[in-house]
Structure 1
Amino acid sequence: MITSLQRFIIHRYSGRILSKWIVLLHDMVLVAAAFGLAQLLRFNFKMEGIRNDHFVTQLSISCLVYLAAFFLFRSFSGIIRHTGLEDVKRILNAGLLSMTTLVGLTILVRTSSLTSGMTISLAVIIIHFLLTVVFLTGSRFLIKLFYHNAVKKRSAFKRVVIFGAGYSGMMAKNSMESDTASNYKVSAFLDDDPQKAGKFLHGIPVFLPEAGFRDFLHKFPDTELIIAIPNLTPARKSQIIEHCLNVGIKVKSVPPIGNWINGELSVQQIRNVSIEDLLNRAPIQLERSMAAKEIYSKVVMITGAAGSIGSEIVRQVMNLNPAKLILIDQAETPMHDLELEVAPLRRRFNTDVQFVICDITNLPKLTRLFEFYRPQIVYHAAAYKHVPMMERNPGEAVLTNVFGTKHMVDLAIVYEIEKFVFISTDKAVNPTNIMGATKRAAEIYVQNQSRYESSKTVFVTTRFGNVLGSNGSVIPLFMRQIEQGGPVTVTSKDVTRFFMTIPEACQLVLEAGAMASGGEIFLFDMGERVRIYDLAVKMIRLAGRVPDKDIFIEEIGLRPGEKLHEELLNAAEDNLPTHHPKIMVGRTREFESEWVHRCMERLRVAYADNNTIKLVLALKEMVPEFKSLNSDFQQLDREATMEVAATA
């Protein structure tokens, strides 16, 4: 029960911070008390040791030395209720310096003609140092303990089990128990190490996971599990999370030790597990040495800079010290948000960054930009990407994705850009929709222009699948639907997609761009396909809800142009390995330049005529494998099949 004294202290002082001068006064009183006790201990508690004529002189000298050391190391400037290892380190350093100084003074006095009254027993100096450190650190931790016990809520506690009985697990336990805003109670540790099973850590039992799940977590379903093993394999981590989600246990995880603040873990850093933790593969990590060498001191242009992929490329490129960044996007508000976000990076790296509002279909303005800034490397990420929207607006898809890319490629050749990196999609493989077909047409044009002997530009295409959390992707949609109480909508229970995180995708884009020699289409190893329905189920469980009970999952049917399974290569393509195991080079079909330019001209004429059917037919001619699915344009494929059959 909280005492009346505790209530008074909470009410009057919990919002105040004790003045550092009061802390200093507290420390000096303890230093003086420790000196007196040291004298008593040295002389076996005989008062003669304190009553000698030189005691006051020796006490004054000791206090002055310690006072100077406290000012030097600022040991009194910490907030006592939040005392940690850094505070202990400052006290220890101040004490060691004081002890060393006093020993030196004593030796100097003994070897000189100075008054013997300044000579302090070496034993007293050492005992004084030990007592001072114990008194100062002990008093701080006692005050901290008293404060935390006083302000800690006495309502029902949250039972927690920590997976990992090691250093990170102990730090997680300490941070939760010292947090005054929550009522966490660590009830058990789980660990895969059989040598730890059956033992106790700070009085808390350690179980093997199987026993812990069976005998503890299943009995207390309101328990939270915190994963505190930084090097846990992705497969094992995914297994633990899925097991907990299946039985309704909320899961959190401790960040890597390198992300802790000043070497200490805060309870606020313990986060809920994310959907990325369930990809069941190791995060892709690159050294970036090749990309760093490629980008250093170069003028880099990025189109679609305010989008999900473009903005992450901006962040990563800024860390590689380019001479200048030219960021292009047509979206004003996202561009403004990006400008505010990267402002600290601009100051940190002293990078010249230009934010340009421009549509890549605006050839005159693009020409002026190339003429003025003379970029050396271009990352072309600007595109329309939403399948159903582009199925209803094929003209805009062709204008931006095909002719916008053509403008960028042609200007790259004219202004002798060193490297041009085009960012494509797995929807360009055997496309069943307008968006995918336009990206494949752009791939063909980029690859064709790379074969010009007179061109000094290295052209490269990168192709990858869905990116977790990108604008308009399924993850933000599911999150909104879950927040609104459902239903969560999936087009089909059988739909699968490749997934990777935005930082992973952009790392691979930079690395592939650096290793390119010209004309390649780089593919990324994205692991196994993920069933979208399973993704929805896991996200509902991650939110602490029960699928088809708290939140229903509704199947709404495939959207226009959507297919069940995406691919990274079609049947006529193959791939070759590179030096990086996650990056491959696709051996794709090549087309005659004359044929490519003829197809581009037919697309241009069809767009100029504002003839949608003619435009889609021209797109199908340029991308022969383009077969519409769940779309009004399927009729064109049927008519073409009938014509072929009639002439056979």
Structure 2
Amino acid sequence: MGYRIRLVLLILMDSLIVSTAIFVAAWIAYPYESVIHISSLIISAIALLVFHHLFAFIYNLYKKVWAYASVGEVTAIAKAVTLSIAATALVQYLSSGFVIYKRALLVTWMLHILLIGGSRFGWRIYRERYMNKAGNKKRTLIVGAGSAGAMIARQLKTENSSDLLPVGFIDDEQSKQKMQLFDLPIFGQTKDIEKVVQNHTIEHIIIAIPSLKSDDLNQIVAECKKTKIKTQILPKMEDLMSGKLSVHQLKDVEVEDLLGRETVELDIHSISRNVTGETVMVTGAGGSIGSELCRQLMRFTPKKILLVGHGEYSIYTIDMELKENYKNEQIEIVPVIGDVQDRARMFEIVKEHKPVIIYHAAAHKHVPLMEYNPHEAVKNNILGTKNVSEAADAFGVRTFVLVSSDKAVNPTNVMGATKRVAEMIIEDLNKRSSTVFAAVRFGNVLGSRGSVIPLFKKQINNGGPITVTDPEMTRYFMTIPEASRLVVQAGALAKGGEVFVLDMGEPVKITDLAKNLIKLSGYTEEEIPIVYTGIRPGEKMYEELLDDSEILPGEVYEKIYVGKTSKVNQNVLTLFISQYESYTNEELKNHLMQIVYTKEDLILMKG
């Protein structure tokens, strides 16, 4: 129904109710005597009509979506009716020789509340019961009878467009058992999900607890898996707060949801002091980490943000996204095409825009690929870092944060070794620069380009099998927002020379990851088998975040630790950079290991 037609119908209906209510009220209040003169009734009816529409527009009664009416809408009706009756009483007092017909006006007030409010809620009931017929809708069980669950139930009951029909709730809170919410029963607790699905012919499950911890979510998902019913979940609280997703956007349960940990709260004050109103620069801004880093930084309203990257399309994409999402903010968003390997270009960018903070996320990160292309790893990860960090030093950038990797700890591969050297470069530069240099080290990032999850999903979509290198292979995992928040927080914590590390909990077996993904995709391991292919070049069976000799006791911030890398021999590094292009792949790897390890370490490794 169009807005104009709806508005006209509501005004006509209210006019009819208001115009006749005073006459009905007079008859009810004085059934056996003519106390009120007909002229007073007519004047009162006209006054009521005028004042009702006046207060109806003041309290937006004609703009309310009555399909979702609740206490707020009832309150608005009560205010509009009460004020219109009070104003009419004043008119009666002035026009009837200082007499107010209190009983008649009281009955009129009750009739207005009953009829005007009843007409709205009658429409809502009709819409829910007759317009939103079940039809082919899937019978849906909602896990969580809190505010989010109530919102989902209400939405599903009132929207024609949804193909889901809520039939009840599951909630672990004892006080809610056998209660009802929106006329829907609370069937039981998490442990009862399988039984409830069978007894009530459930075809769909929604987990509606956005602040759920991963351990609790794992337990609920485990119960849902037993039913083999499609299960969806509300977005995480961090996505709701950042505006990336709304509470109405259901999504499938992902492995990321099961592996996520309790969110580390940011020190908003210190980050705002560093970022708000300043010029910040992100290299690799089109990548998985770089683009999320930009999103996180935008929350703190910098004056200008430089999106630096060599991929034209990826920079265009993040540029368009930020400009759309923050079009009402006074933030200058500058897309900059430039390769970190191009020293002159990096110096030119920093000189022109004078950023206060640089977040260096540009890097080659794929381990096996870099084993085959070690010269490219050196150019991007070592020379790129050297170029950007020295530009930061030359033009007095306040803080430089390097995005590093857990593969830089005791590296056995080219990618890890180049990231370790990059850490050494900025630590050495920190000793003789006014710029504060720090590194942030974290494990594998779920969902990033080249990570294992997208590969597994593709293999499942192709009918399997899923390929895993070794059944005992383990890795630390974190989500992209977690990684990006750590980088932003590190920029605020940095005093110079640190390597910041997030407490990533327990490492996860890649095999368990694959099994979870198979189940969440609705398959069994018989349908999508797991095949073990053997460890690839440069891979470790397990990875560390800090070497024993690097760990400093205690957290510097909630779940954030700090350590220091080994010293770099500038002469050795300078010689390596001047000659690396002439090395064969094998020679290059050997020279890299000589930089990051002592002679004793190398002897022990070969032994």
Query: What's the TM-score, normalizing by structure 2?
Result: 0.90
Q: Indicate how the Cα distance of structure 1 residues 322 and 138 shifts in structure 2: closer, same or farther if over 3 A, else same.
A: same
Q: Indicate how the Cα distance of structure 1 residues 257 and 489 shifts in structure 2: closer, same or farther if over 3 A, else same.
A: closer
Count of aligned positions: 603
Question: Which shifted more, 269-278 or 563-572?
Answer: 269-278
The CA deviation at 1:490 is: 2.6
Aligned twin of 2:557: 580
The CA deviation at 1:218 is: 5.0
Aligned twin of 1:38: 25
The aligned runs of 1:169-248 (5 Å cut-off) are 169-182=149-162, 184-201=164-181, 204-209=184-189, 212-213=192-193, 215-217=195-197, 219=199, 222-248=202-228
Q: Indicate how the Cα distance of structure 1 residues 210 and 312 shifts in structure 2: closer, same or farther if over 3 A, else same.
A: closer
The CA deviation at 1:584 is: 0.5
Q: Do the aligned residues in 1 keep the contact of 2:476 with 2:506 (CA within 8 Å)?
A: yes
The aligned runs of 1:204-603 (5 Å cut-off) are 204-209=184-189, 212-213=192-193, 215-217=195-197, 219=199, 222-254=202-234, 268-279=248-259, 281-344=261-324, 346-452=326-432, 455-543=433-521, 545-591=522-568, 595-603=569-577
> 1:173-218: CA deviations, max 9, x gaps?
3222222234544444333233333445566443442662363235
The CA deviation at 1:590 is: 2.8
Per the alignment, in what secondary structure is the counterpart of residue 5 of structure 2?
coil
CA distance in 2, matches of 1:374, 1:236: 47
Residue 73 of structure 1 aligns with an amino acid whose one-letter code is Y
- Where in structure 1 are there 5+ consecutive unaligned residues? 1-12, 628-636
Aligned twin of 2:591: 618
Aligned twin of 1:124: 104
Question: Which shifted more, 142-151 or 394-403?
Answer: 142-151
The CA deviation at 1:366 is: 1.4
> 1:441-475: CA deviations, max 9, x gaps?
111111112122xx211110110011222222222
Aligned twin of 1:10: none
Q: Indicate how the Cα distance of structure 1 residues 16 and 323 shifts in structure 2: closer, same or farther if over 3 A, else same.
A: closer
Q: Do the aligned residues in 2 keep the contact of 1:318 with 1:345 (CA within 8 Å)?
A: no
Aligned twin of 1:140: 120
CA distance in 2, matches of 1:406, 1:201: 61
Per the alignment, in what secondary structure is the counterpart of residue 268 of structure 1?
coil
Question: Which shifted more, 389-398 or 271-280?
Answer: 271-280
Question: Which shifted more, 467-476 or 376-385?
Answer: 467-476
Q: Indicate how the Cα distance of structure 1 residues 236 and 202 shifts in structure 2: closer, same or farther if over 3 A, else same.
A: same
The aligned runs of 1:70-109 (5 Å cut-off) are 70-78=56-64, 87-107=73-93, 109=94
Aligned twin of 2:580: 606
> 1:326-347: CA deviations, max 9, x gaps?
2210000011111111114553
Q: Do the aligned residues in 2 keep the contact of 1:302 with 1:314 (CA within 8 Å)?
A: yes
Q: Indicate how the Cα distance of structure 1 residues 432 and 100 shifts in structure 2: closer, same or farther if over 3 A, else same.
A: farther
CA distance in 1, matches of 2:109, 2:562: 67
Q: Do the aligned residues in 1 keep the contact of 2:190 with 2:220 (CA within 8 Å)?
A: no
Residue 390 of structure 1 aligns with an amino acid whose one-letter code is M
Residue 440 of structure 1 aligns with an amino acid whose one-letter code is R
Aligned twin of 2:46: 60
Question: Which shifted more, 217-226 or 169-178?
Answer: 217-226
Residue 520 of structure 1 aligns with an amino acid whose one-letter code is E
Q: Do the aligned residues in 1 keep the contact of 2:363 with 2:381 (CA within 8 Å)?
A: yes
The CA deviation at 1:400 is: 0.7
CA distance in 1, matches of 2:352, 2:190: 65
- Where in structure 2 are there 5+ consecutive unaligned residues? none
Question: Which shifted more, 175-184 or 499-508?
Answer: 175-184
The CA deviation at 1:49 is: 6.3
Residue 55 of structure 2 aligns with an amino acid whose one-letter code is A
The CA deviation at 1:28 is: 1.3
> 1:242-264: CA deviations, max 9, x gaps?
22124423333345899989xxx
Q: Indicate how the Cα distance of structure 1 residues 469 and 148 shifts in structure 2: closer, same or farther if over 3 A, else same.
A: same
Residue 545 of structure 2 aligns with an amino acid whose one-letter code is L
> 1:113-143: CA deviations, max 9, x gaps?
x443x95523333332332233223212322
Per the alignment, in what secondary structure is the counterpart of residue 18 of structure 1?
helix
Question: Which shifted more, 547-556 or 374-383?
Answer: 547-556
Q: Indicate how the Cα distance of structure 1 residues 267 and 338 shifts in structure 2: closer, same or farther if over 3 A, else same.
A: closer
Q: Do the aligned residues in 1 keep the contact of 2:197 with 2:227 (CA within 8 Å)?
A: no
Residue 464 of structure 1 aligns with an amino acid whose one-letter code is F
The CA deviation at 1:504 is: 1.6
Residue 567 of structure 1 aligns with an amino acid whose one-letter code is E
Q: Do the aligned residues in 1 keep the contact of 2:440 with 2:501 (CA within 8 Å)?
A: yes
The CA deviation at 1:353 is: 2.4
Q: Do the aligned residues in 2 keep the contact of 1:152 with 1:181 (CA within 8 Å)?
A: no
CA distance in 2, matches of 1:427, 1:210: 40
Residue 466 of structure 1 aligns with an amino acid whose one-letter code is N
CA distance in 2, matches of 1:625, 1:311: 37
